[in-house]
Amino acid sequence: MRVSPTALTLLGLAITIIGALVIGSGYPVLGGVIFVVGSALDGLDGAVARASGKAGPRGALIDSVADRIGETAVWGGIAVLVVDQYWATYWGRRLVIACLFCVAGALITSYLRAKADAVGADGRTGLVGRGERVILMGIGLIGGWIGPMIMALLVLIWVTVATRFWMLWRRLGP
């Protein structure tokens, strides 16, 4: 098909953002499906880059930034959904705050991986990387388990942050 890896990354990002908008509009199942499709497309870019001999640092940079933008957009869509559907409940405000902590933890997870890679350490330690987060978010959105998904990811993401931080702390020495 001769589709460039960068085109797949940007198409995946565009579809993911559309999914985030649909989620925030009150349609978590449809938005979740769109988000998973966008993430799956984005997941192909690395394989296409390697297969076509186009893998390089610029493509990796575009992919990494697109991943952060897409995940932040989806967490934003989930937060808006929670405000619209659960705000008046006991858990409503807490779930919005949890969404903010989830996006912060996801960004810190990525940052710690980059720092670890920069010093030659394994930056993929911990319970949930981006792939696992995408799967769990997709299951929660499509299955209608918004609150449990948010709370489970809150714990898993921050355990991952702590694990990566501790691993990197030990690797850096005194």
Lowest mean pLDDT among 26-30, 39-43, 166-170: 39-43
CATH class of 5-172: mainly alpha
How confident is the model over 143-162, as pLDDT tens digits?
999 999 999 999 999 999 99
Distance CA 72, CA 19 (A): 12
- Give the pLDDT confidence score for residue 15 in this predicted structure: 97
| Enzyme catalytic residues | 67
Confidence of residue 1 (pLDDT cuts 50, 70, 90): low
Q: Which of 24-28, 48-52, 84-88 has the highest mean pLDDT?
A: 24-28
How confident is the model over 40-72, as pLDDT tens digits?
988 887 778 787 778 788 888 898 999 999 999
Cα 68 to its chain centre, rounded Å, is 7
The Cα-based distances of 135 to 28, 60, 61, 92 in angstroms read 15, 21, 23, 23
Instruction: Give pTM, 2 decimals.
Output: 0.91
Q: What is the mean pLDDT of residues 72-86?
A: 93
Distance CA 10, CA 59 (A): 11
Distance CA 28, CA 68 (A): 20
